[in-house]
Amino acid sequence: MPSIKKATQWDAALDAIPVSKADLNSIVMDYLIVEGYKDAARQLAEEADMDLTLSMESINHRHEIRTLIHSGDIEGAISHINEASPELLERNEDLHFDLLRLQLIEMIRDANDQNLSSENFPYKQILEFAASNLAQKATKNRLDDLEETMALLCFQPSELVPRLQALLDLKLRRSVAATVNEVLLKQQKFDGEAKIKGLYKLWGWAEHQCAKEKVNFRKLDESDLS
């Protein structure tokens, strides 16, 4: 028969597991380093007397690149990546394609934002960029992505179907920035994902397993995380 614990028993079992302040600081610092929050990481390092020397260069570098991508300056982001890691994009063709594709999208977005007439719309520059930078990189599994992006030139922004609207959503910048951050972290021998995110996934899996086995337990909620 499944084990059943009262809330008080569950809390007592949790309290019996030793978690030091140093362990908590380490998990928080790992998150700040992975996500690139340099000011918060520096403050925690000072308060907890933690050595951040080796991590600050990585944080600064990744923070600059993420900021450039979030602002739509993809050319600047690619330049920063190539300066620090000349072979990174050569070894990660899909990532390079995603960045160049996003740069193409930003060119189209910028032209749309200027409300240019058909005569003044920079079709030539956009097509030349796609031909010289993306056409040869569009392998069979990425050709649809390129064709979908080029379809943005065929419609007014207000006429786009949801699938094409998603390309102009700023969420795409954040998604590409997150992928770049993960690749840079792995190259620098960090985990691509913060440990606290892995713990969160493990927590969700454990709750699911307990529910499946009909084990009565007190679920964690947001108040437990504050």
pLDDT tens-digit series, residues 49-60: 887 766 777 788
Looking at residues 73-85, what average pLDDT do you find? 94
Looking at residues 177-181, what average pLDDT do you find? 93
Single-letter code of the amino acid located at 60: N
Question: What are the boundaries of each domain within the chain?
Answer: 18-217
pLDDT tens-digit series, residues 196-206: 777 878 878 88
Q: Which residue has the tokens 């569950």?
A: 10
| Backbone φ and ψ of 76, nearest 5° | -65, -40
